């Protein structure tokens, strides 16, 4: 420093101060991130401007009092040095402190998350945003991820359901933690376990629930009642019999049911619809099912004497075997019907008091008996097939539409004692013996071979014409000699006969 020239000395000091200020600024910028560097650079401008102003002031003061210049320079140097050095150092320390505090809070939050995971305890998080695959949530300072598949008991919630919870707090369980070498941590949380516990704890026997049909099996119907499936067994579907569930229910149908069993350990729920259906009220009315009304029904049960036909839920009618066909002699209805068949019927009787309906199939068609003889004349011959053998005779089918009865009295020539020598499936030739429209009956006769083709006489059993020889009398005159020629011819003819 040049002591003889205060102004030059002051300029040299100012230059040194600028160098010191730049050195301090470089050190601060190396410790801070890029954003802090920009802030420090802007803050360096203020001390430099203060230095320039200070230089002008020192020049003025030096012209007034040179002797006091050194003291003024010394005071100015100290003040400027403090201004240049202390301000950046104070802001950098504050930012560092904030950064350290934020990291400390983050590490504390992750530590609490890890402890909750180890102790299997729930934590409360705030939903920050809807992101791909789920939700971004925060536990205090710690960012976490809630997958969509763990948001609800259902596997795939809708996007609307996910958006509705943004900004809200949720209770979750820590599902998985992955720690990395650099100290960072990825955490996946889930709501499933908490929702499952809440769901099963709230289920009570006797509670009425509602859900959509998720599948239909031969033994029952499964419905989704809020993330878990319950089974309505076929025996609990209704107070009436249902044989084919797929004809009554389909996937997506909404049903109400009563909880009859809760097995939390095996995650099973038993349901029933019987209790929700009033079986005491018969839905059939005479107005709807009066005599002569026609309906489409489903064969639900087959018995020896007929078939029960479902006309609507809780409404069945009886179709007796005799009411199936006008002209076929059926032993049992399963010869032409099977369970599940859809058939057209007409009501022949309705009794509201007994809750019974009688049905007929054949009466949907015109009665053919009054004119049957025109199509099947008496004594016309047919090749028939034995379809049933009974003690009184045989039932014989003579066409796809007509069966007749061949009684024992028409089989005398083939009977072997009391046994009928025919069996089911035998083919025989019969003729129409009688038609009785009042009894809806056709009586058949057995065509014997000699009746169809008159029997030819056996030549071995036919008598041969005899040749008579005349012997002469002892006198040489025979009787023939005593007859005329006409008498001889007549006698010979009588002998030949």
HEC assignment per residue over the chain: CCCCCHHHHHHHHHHHHHHHHHHHHHHHHHHCCHHHHHHHHHHHHHHHHHHHHHHHHHHHHHHHCCCCHHHHHHHHHHHHHHHHHHHHHHHHHHHHHHHHHHHHHHHHHHHHHHHHHHHCCEEEEEEEEEECCEEEEEECCEEEEEEHHHCCCCCCCCHHHHHHCCCCEEEEEEEEEEECCCCCEEEEEECHHHHHHHHHHHCCCCCEEEEEEEEECCCEEEEECCCCEEEEEHHHCCCCCCCCHHHCCCCCCEEEEEEEEEECCCCEEEEECHHHCCCCCCCCCHHHHCCCCEEEEEEEEEECCEEEEEEECCEEEEEEHHHCCCCCCCCCHHHCCCCCCEEEEEEEEEECCCCEEEEECHHHCCCCHHHHHHHCCCCCEEEEEEEEEECCEEEEEEECCEEEEEEHHHCCCCCECCECCCCCCCEEEEEEEEEEHHHCEEEEEECCHHHHCCCCCCCCCCCCCCCCCCCCCCCCCCHHHHCCHHHHHHHHHHHHC
Q: What is the pLDDT of residue 318?
A: 94
- Segments making up each domain of the chain, as ranges: 6-97, 120-197, 204-276, 286-364, 372-450
pLDDT reading at 1 higher than 70: no
pLDDT reading at 329 higher than 50: yes
Structure tokens at 405: 């009865």
C-alpha 180: how far from its chain's center? Answer: 45
pLDDT-derived band at 155 (thresholds 50, 70, 90) equals low
Q: What is the pLDDT of residue 89?
A: 53
pLDDT reading at 57 higher than 70: no
Q: Give the span between the Cα atoms of 426 and 421, in whole angstroms.
A: 10
Q: What is the pLDDT of residue 490?
A: 67
Measuring CA to CA, which residue among 65, 85, 88, 66 is closest to residue 77? 85
Query: Could you check whether 120-197 and 204-276 share the same CATH topology?
Result: yes
pLDDT-derived band at 82 (thresholds 50, 70, 90) equals very low
Q: What is the pLDDT of residue 169?
A: 95
pLDDT reading at 125 higher than 90: yes
Q: What is the pLDDT of residue 264?
A: 87
Task: Identify which has the larger pLDDT, 90 or 118.
Answer: 118
Q: What is the pLDDT of residue 184?
A: 74
- Dump pLDDT digits (tens) for 414-471: 887 778 888 888 898 999 989 888 888 899 998 875 444 434 434 433 334 433 344 4
pLDDT-derived band at 260 (thresholds 50, 70, 90) equals very high
Residue 342 neighbours by CB distance under 10 Å: 10
Q: What is the pLDDT of residue 488?
A: 62
Residues near 243 by beta carbon (within 8 Å), at least 6 away in sequence? 300, 301, 339, 340
pLDDT-derived band at 485 (thresholds 50, 70, 90) equals low
Residue 404 neighbours by CB distance under 10 Å: 26
Q: What is the pLDDT of residue 234?
A: 92
Q: Over range 342-348, report the average pLDDT.
A: 94
Task: Identify which has the larger pLDDT, 348 or 17.
Answer: 348
Domain 120-197 matching CATH 1.10.10.10: the answer reads: no
Q: Over range 227-232, report the average pLDDT.
A: 89
Q: What is the pLDDT of residue 48?
A: 35
Structure tokens at 109: 């939050």
Fold classification of 204-276 (topology level):
OB fold (Dihydrolipoamide Acetyltransferase, E2P) (2.40.50)
The backbone torsions φ and ψ at residue 431, rounded to the nearest 5 degrees and listed phi first, read -130, 155
- Percentage of the residues of the chain whose pLDDT score is greater than 90: 33
pLDDT-derived band at 228 (thresholds 50, 70, 90) equals confident
Domain 372-450 is classified in which CATH homologous superfamily? Answer: Nucleic acid-binding proteins (2.40.50.140)
- Dump pLDDT digits (tens) for 291-317: 999 999 999 889 989 999 999 888 899
Q: Is 317 left (phi over 0), alpha (psi -120 to 50) or beta?
A: beta
Q: Give the span between the Cα atoms of 23 and 19, in whole angstroms.
A: 6
Calculate the average pLDDT of the chain: 76
Task: Identify which has the larger pLDDT, 49 or 358.
Answer: 358
- Dump pLDDT digits (tens) for 360-405: 999 998 888 888 888 889 889 999 999 888 888 889 998 888 889 9
Q: What is the pLDDT of residue 102?
A: 87
**Of the candidate ranges 22-26, 61-65, 96-100, 382-386, the one whose mean pLDDT is the lowest:** 61-65
pLDDT reading at 230 higher than 80: yes
Residue 301: exposure state from Cβ atoms within 10 A (0-12, 13-18, ≥19): middle
Instruction: Give the class (CATH, top level) of 286-364.
Output: mainly beta
Max Cα-Cα span within the chain: 227
Q: Give the span between the Cα atoms of 353 and 279, in whole angstroms.
A: 15
Measuring CA to CA, which residue among 427, 207, 239, 205 is closest to residue 315? 239
Q: Over range 210-220, report the average pLDDT.
A: 93
Q: Which residue has the tokens 């012997």?
A: 471
Residues paired with 320 in a beta bridge: 306
């Amino acid at each position: 420093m040049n002591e003889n020239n205060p102004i030059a000395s002051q300029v040299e000091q100012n230059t040194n101060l600028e160098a010191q200020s730049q050195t301090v600024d470089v050190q601060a910028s190396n410790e801070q991130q890029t954003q802090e560097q920009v802030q420090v650079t802007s803050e360096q401008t203020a001390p430099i401007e203060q230095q320039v102003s200070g230089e002008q002031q020192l020049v003025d003061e030096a012209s007034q009092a040179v002797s006091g210049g050194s003291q003024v320079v010394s005071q100015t140097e100290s003040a400027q040095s403090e201004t240049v050095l202390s301000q950046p150092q104070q802001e950098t320390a504050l930012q560092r402190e904030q950064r350290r505090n934020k990291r400390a809070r983050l590490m504390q939050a992750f530590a609490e998350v890890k402890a909750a995971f180890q102790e299997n305890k729930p934590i409360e998080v705030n939903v920050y945003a809807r992101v791909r695959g789920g939700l971004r949530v925060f536990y205090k300072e710690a960012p976490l991820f809630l997958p969509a598949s763990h948001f609800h008991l259902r596997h795939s919630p809708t996007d609307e359901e996910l958006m509705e919870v943004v900004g809200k707090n949720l209770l979750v369980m820590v599902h998985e933690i992955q720690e990395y070498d650099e100290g960072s941590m990825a955490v996946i949380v889930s709501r499933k376990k908490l929702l499952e516990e809440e769901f099963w704890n709230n289920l009570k026997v006797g509670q009425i629930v509602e859900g959509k049909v998720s599948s239909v099996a031969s033994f029952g119907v499964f419905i989704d009642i809020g993330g878990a499936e319950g089974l309505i067994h076929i025996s609990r579907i209704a107070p009436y019999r249902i044989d084919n569930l797929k004809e009554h229910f389909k996937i997506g149908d909404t049903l109400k049911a009563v909880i009859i069993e809760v097995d939390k350990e095996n995650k099973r729920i038993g349901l029933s619809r019987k209790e929700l259906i009033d079986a005491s009220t018969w839905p059939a009315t005479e107005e709807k099912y009066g005599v002569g009304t026609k309906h489409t029904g489903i064969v639900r049960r087959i018995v020896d004497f007929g078939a029960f036909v479902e006309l609507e839920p809780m409404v069945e009618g009886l179709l007796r075997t005799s009411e199936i066909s006008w002209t076929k002699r059926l032993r049992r209805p399963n010869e032409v019907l099977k369970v599940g068949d859809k058939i057209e019927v007409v009501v022949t009787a309705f009794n509201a008091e007994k809750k019974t309906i009688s049905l007929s199939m054949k009466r949907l068609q015109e009665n053919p008996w009054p004119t049957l003889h025109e199509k099947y004349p008496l004594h016309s011959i047919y090749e028939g097939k034995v379809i049933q053998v009974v003690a009184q005779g045989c039932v014989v089918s003579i066409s796809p539409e007509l069966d007749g009865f061949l009684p024992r009295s028409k089989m005398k020539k083939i009977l072997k004692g009391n046994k009928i020598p025919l069996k089911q499936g035998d083919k025989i030739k019969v003729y129409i013996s009688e038609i009785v429209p009042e009894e809806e009956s056709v009586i058949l006769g057995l065509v014997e071979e000699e009746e169809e083709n008159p029997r030819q006489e056996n030549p071995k059993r036919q008598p041969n014409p005899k040749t008579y020889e005349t012997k002469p009398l002892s006198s040489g005159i025979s009787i023939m000699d005593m007859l005329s020629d006409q008498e001889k011819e007549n006698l010979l003819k009588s002998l030949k006969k």
